[in-house]
């Protein structure tokens, strides 16, 4: 997948969950900024405590 395709997928501000199969994105879910109940940082820390790998850029 090219970076341009990723930029198009992730063009809206918010918190994304992504499903990757065989190196390709097969599913994305977006929680828009105006619907995030917790602070994004607190949510990311929660996911990390559960053992999920969070990629930050």
What per-residue string of b and e applies to 29-53 under the rule 16 or more CB within 10 Å gives b?
Answer: eeeeeeeeeeeeeeeeeeeeeeeee
Is the per-residue pLDDT at 37 higher than 70? no
Is the per-residue pLDDT at 1 higher than 70? no
**3-class DSSP state of 54:** coil
Is the per-residue pLDDT at 45 higher than 80? yes
Q: What is the pLDDT of residues 4-29, one digit of tens each?
A: 877 888 888 877 778 888 888 888 87
pLDDT at 56: 72
């Amino acid at each position: 997948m090219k970076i341009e395709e990723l930029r198009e997928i992730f063009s809206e501000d918010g918190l994304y969950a992504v499903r990757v199969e065989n190196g390709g994105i097969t599913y994305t879910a977006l929680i828009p900024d105006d619907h995030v109940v917790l602070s994004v940082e607190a949510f990311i820390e929660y996911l990390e405590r559960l053992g999920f790998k969070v990629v930050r850029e």
